[in-house]
Amino acid sequence: MEKLACSLARMSSDPIKILSGLIWTLMALWGLTCTACAGQTPARCIVIDKGIHRLFLCRHGEIIKRIPVSLGIDSMSPKRHRGDGSTPEGYYYVTYKKAKSRFHKFLGISYPNEVDAWMGLRAGYISLGEFRSIVRAISAGSPPPDDTALGGGIGIHGGGIYRGKGRHRTRDWTEGCIAVEDHAMDIIYAFCRLGDPVVIFNSRHAFFDMVRPFGAPVSIDKALRPVHQKGVYISRFGLDTGLGQVFLRLEEKADYSRSIEIAVFEGTSGPPEYIVFDHNGDGKLECRDREIGSLDTATGIVRNPYTRLRLELTRALRRGRLLRYPEKCSLYRR
């Protein structure tokens, strides 16, 4: 892969050679057809950015309300198992609404999702049978089981941003849920419907860690088990950004090394305009990384395209502009 990127980077400036090289590269590495999928921005979406302690109510991909939140006792880490005090990160949906609860009102969300289950299976927290039951529930749009070692019962509720008084006042006090002031919970409760997406991420994570919770396994066998390719776990997802549709392919190896390939499609057909091969997923262009093509805007060519792309990806996450299943939109071939 790296040799292929190096050879393309050394190509001449002839536009025909560059275009043919881009098409060949993407057909080989991504399995692309010539048509990008249409936008799938939801009508309503709840987004929580753990990095800045904010909840966003989004309508058709635009923020209409910003609300401060409190998180789990471990406010930085993604939830991995029951009792870790962490708030989950990933793509979820509202599973139920409870008008009266211990903390004013409650919105249940679909933790654990299929990515949580995949990570839990790899870490040995759950069995293959438990993994299958979670995947089946998520595929059916039902609440996932909450009796595994991954935990459950996560949601958004009232109760206030802070607990305690004076010097003992605490910001992040929940067991993994998202807490807001009661009056804000009334607004959130009235805004959402069952099945509405809930996107949770941490903008203060390293780049790979920020996007990792959204990468679903590329292939699952007949036994509903994720398949790794020669010890490499591959996942992917897409985002609808201000630069166009962006698709990310994440690789993780048994030795914990990881990398990201990103393709930006500015139009609805044809090859991508810009490709990045980030060998360690740190979000920086270094000696072993490669970029092909450029990003064009109304003001001209972007001088630092990868920096601009990272900002656009964060911005798209905060607006809930996830293309959750790009393989169903004819972009990927199974």
pLDDT at residue 159 in the model: 95
Per the listing, tokens 């299929």 go with 114
Instruction: Output the pTM of the full model.
Output: 0.84
**Alpha-carbon distances, residue 106 vs 15, 99, 210, 223 (angstroms):** 56, 7, 26, 35
Write out the E strands in 42-195: 44-49, 54-59, 62-68, 90-101, 104-109, 155-157, 178-179
pLDDT at residue 20 in the model: 38
**309 has a pLDDT exceeding 60:** yes
pLDDT at residue 90 in the model: 96
pLDDT at residue 37 in the model: 47
Pull the structure tokens for residue 276: 């990045």
**19 has a pLDDT exceeding 60:** no
**157 has a pLDDT exceeding 90:** yes
Residue 100 CB: number of other CB atoms within 10 A?
7
Domain ranges of the chain: 2-30+206-329, 44-201
pLDDT at residue 100 in the model: 92
For range 49-73, the mean pLDDT: 97
**300 has a pLDDT exceeding 60:** no
Residue 230: band (very low, low, confident or very high) from pLDDT cuts 50, 70, 90:
confident
Mean pLDDT (the chain) is 83
The fold of 44-201 is L,D-transpeptidase catalytic domain-like (2.40.440)
CA distance 319 to 60: 9
- The more confidently predicted of residues 102 and 333 is 102
pLDDT at residue 130 in the model: 94
Which three-class secondary structure state does DSSP give residue 4? helix
pLDDT tens track for 80-125: 999 999 999 999 999 999 999 999 999 999 999 999 998 999 889 9
